[in-house]
Amino acid sequence: MTSAAPRYDHFIDGSLVAGTAYTENRNPSDTGDLIGLYAKGGVAEADAAIEAAARAFPGWAATPIAERSAVLQRISAGITAREGELADMLAREEGKTLAESIGEVRRAAATFAYYAGEVLSARGSVYASLATPATIETVHRPVGVVGIITPWNFPIAIPAWKSAPALAYGNTVVLKPAELTPGTSWLMAEIIHASGCPDGVFNFVMGAGREIGVRLCESPDVQAITFTGSSAVGRTVAAAAVAHGMKKVQLELGGKNPLIVMDDADLEIAVDAAMDGAFGSTGQRCTASSRLIVHDAVHDRFIEALVQRMRGLTVGDARAAGTTMGPVVSESQLEQDLKYIEIARSEGGQLAFGGERVEAETPGYYLQPTLFTHTENDWRINQEEVFGPVATVIRVHDYAEALRLADAVEYGLSASIITSSLARARDFSARCRAGILAVNRSAAGTDLHVPFGGNKASSYGSREQGTAAREFFTTTSTVYTYAGEV
Ligand SMILES: NC(=O)C1=CN([C@@H]2O[C@H](COP(=O)(O)OP(=O)(O)OC[C@H]3O[C@@H](n4cnc5c(N)ncnc54)[C@H](OP(=O)(O)O)[C@@H]3O)[C@@H](O)[C@H]2O)C=CC1
Ligand SMILES: O=C(O)CCC(=O)C(=O)O
């Protein structure tokens, strides 16, 4: 280990807490670049953070909403003030291009500002009682200590869209970021600590999911778990959270999302949507459009135009000017992508573009954007999430077949259709079983003020983001008041 590398500690109960061990955070664009050493906690650190959050809960829950709102405003301003530093860290540790990273950091700042406003809006309802002359009110109260477990692919947007509503509605937080990308969320934690948030309200503990994540799910002092990551881990998280105290659980998991290109599609729009959906953020998005379901009538022209655009992508160092697609995040993710490229070949897919590693000036995990054509929907390459810049084309004869195949996967996160028929667009929106539907645009890169989430194996529990987040981060009480005779 390089002793000169900066060290980053946990934030527990308002203080920096040194690790007993540290993990290297390296740049996927240049594996020789050691970003820093990040504290590696275990059960003891998780417990200390949970205890601090439990102690802080009554005070934070009782804090007037104007004060909680002001804290969130300061966090938002703090993120904006350090936008360049945050975006640089994000690109350096995750491999998104600088343009993509700036977009993600701005989204995080806007998310805190949004919930600073949202918490001030009126809540609850008043009902007449059926029989007695009572008034019935519903009130939304904070849930308690919320365990937040986040993935590596959006290292500030996802921690922000879970932490902001948790804090706004009066909960206290223990956040465990992905071990692979702790740097950007560590900076967010530092900003939160400088924002006037009382001690113990927001705690940040780094380390392995199978230790800290498991502890959050099993602790009797945690009342809710919100998780984004793989479906396999999500299932164990939900089972443990329910087994240990019937915690509230919210899961955002994988996707195998279709983009349908109809015979009446504007091909320029179709190619833009496919480029963004399949290769934006190096394809490492749960909302990525990895299955391109294309009508016979435009099949060859669409592929030709798409391959032409793919040739124009510049794969390289995420922070270099001119790079339009960064590296994949890690060696194991690169191995997973290459494994699926082999699977697609062996299943009979025709490689239209890519499929190979890219040599760059620095040692990194560079992969060409990759497209397979002439694939069948029931092949593994079309059923399993790759989570990299790998897309396939499935040829169809009509809209009915396209719609049927769009849903013929275990997932149901996002789906798009490119068509100039309003009737088809409306029918698709009504019948396709994804949670996020897009017409004439990519279904990735969603807005922060509207519900986010999927169906089937993609999500579990209530929706995230926008006002929908209130459902998860509060609990509803129904109050019957009989005022008596005057
Ligand atoms: N839907 C989505 O947005 C995402 C999907 N994925 C999919 O998941 C695959 C693997 O990525 P990966 O990051 O390993 O995803 P994981 O599901 O393994 O990790 C997500 C988070 O959960 C934590 N975790 C791991 N094991 C447990 C556990 N037993 N209990 C509680 N928390 C746990 C991880 O910690 P740590 O890793 O630090 O140990 C991380 O913070 C990707 O290739 C992709 O297919 C990945 C990221 C996001
Ligand atoms: O597409 C988006 O807006 C967000 C995607 C996402 O949440 C993810 O990939 O984990």
CA atoms within 13 A on the CB side of 372: 28
For 114-146, the pLDDT digits (tens) are 999 999 997 789 999 998 789 999 999 999 999
Residue 1 — very low, low, confident or very high, per pLDDT cuts 50/70/90? Answer: very low
Distance 445 CA to ligand 2 centre (A): 6
Distance 105 CA to ligand 1 centre (A): 21
- Asked if the model's pLDDT at residue 316 lies above 90, the reply is yes
- Asked if the model's pLDDT at residue 365 lies above 70, the reply is yes
Q: What mean pLDDT do residues 281-310 have?
A: 98
Q: Which of 174, 214, 215, 230 to mutate to test the pocket of ligand 1 (most atoms within 8 A of CB)?
A: 230
Q: What CA–CA distance (Å, rounded) separates 479 from 321? A: 59
Residue tagged 């223990």 (tokens):
174
- Asked if the model's pLDDT at residue 347 lies above 70, the reply is yes
Helix (H, G, I), strand (E, B) or coil at 319: coil
Nearest to 412 by CA among 427, 394, 433: 433
Helix (H, G, I), strand (E, B) or coil at 407: coil
Residue tagged 């794969």 (tokens):
315
Distance 120 CA to ligand 1 centre (A): 34
**Which residue CA neighbors atom 46 of ligand 1 most closely?**
229
Q: What mean pLDDT do residues 289-315 have?
A: 98
Q: Which of ligand 2's atoms lies nearest the C-alpha of 286?
A: 9
Distance 339 CA to ligand 1 centre (A): 19
Pocket lined around ligand 1, Cβ cut-off 6 Å:
149-153, 176, 178-179, 208-210, 213-214, 228-230, 233, 236-237, 252-254, 286, 333, 336, 385, 387
Q: Find the ligand nearest to 414 CA.
A: 2
Q: What CA–CA distance (Å, rounded) separates 375 from 345? A: 10
Q: What mean pLDDT do residues 20-35 have?
A: 98
In angstroms and rounded to an integer, the radius of gyration of the C-alpha atoms of the chain is 23
Specify the pLDDT at position 124: 86
Q: What percent of the chain has pLDDT over 70?
A: 99
Q: What mean pLDDT do residues 355-359 have?
A: 97
- Asked if the model's pLDDT at residue 3 lies above 70, the reply is no
Whether the complex's predicted ipTM is more than 0.90 is answered with yes
Specify the pLDDT at position 123: 79
Q: What CA–CA distance (Å, rounded) separates 160 from 79? A: 10
Tokens of 453: 């989430």
Distance 178 CA to ligand 1 centre (A): 7
Q: Which of ligand 1's atoms lies nearest the C-alpha of 207?
A: 38
**Which residue CA neighbors atom 10 of ligand 2 most closely?**
286
Q: Active-site residue among 93, 252, 464, 471?
A: 252
Q: Find the ligand nearest to 94 CA.
A: 1
Q: Which domains does the chain have, with CATH numbers?
A: 7-253+458-478 (3.40.605.10), 258-439 (3.40.309.10)
Distance 364 CA to ligand 1 centre (A): 21
Does the reported pTM lie above 0.90? yes
Q: What CA–CA distance (Å, rounded) separates 470 from 473? A: 5
CB–CB of 238/249 below 8 Å?
Answer: yes
Nearest to 188 by CA among 263, 312, 270, 89: 89
Q: Find the ligand nearest to 256 CA.
A: 1
Task: Please give the mean pLDDT across all residues of the chain.
Answer: 97
Do you know the residue count of the chain? 486
**Which residue CA neighbors atom 9 of ligand 2 most closely?**
285
Q: Which of 231, 279, 286, 447 to mutate to test the pocket of ligand 2 (most atoms within 8 A of CB)?
A: 286
Q: Find the ligand nearest to 228 CA.
A: 1
Residue 252 catalytic?
A: yes
Pocket lined around ligand 2, Cβ cut-off 6 Å:
153-154, 228, 285-287, 444-446
Residue 2 — very low, low, confident or very high, per pLDDT cuts 50/70/90? Answer: very low
- Biggest CA-to-CA distance, the chain: 84
Alpha-carbon dihedral 109, 114, 120, 126, rounded to 10 degrees: -150
For 182-238, the pLDDT digits (tens) are 999 999 999 999 999 999 999 999 999 999 999 999 999 999 999 999 999 999 999
Q: What CA–CA distance (Å, rounded) separates 202 from 236? A: 25
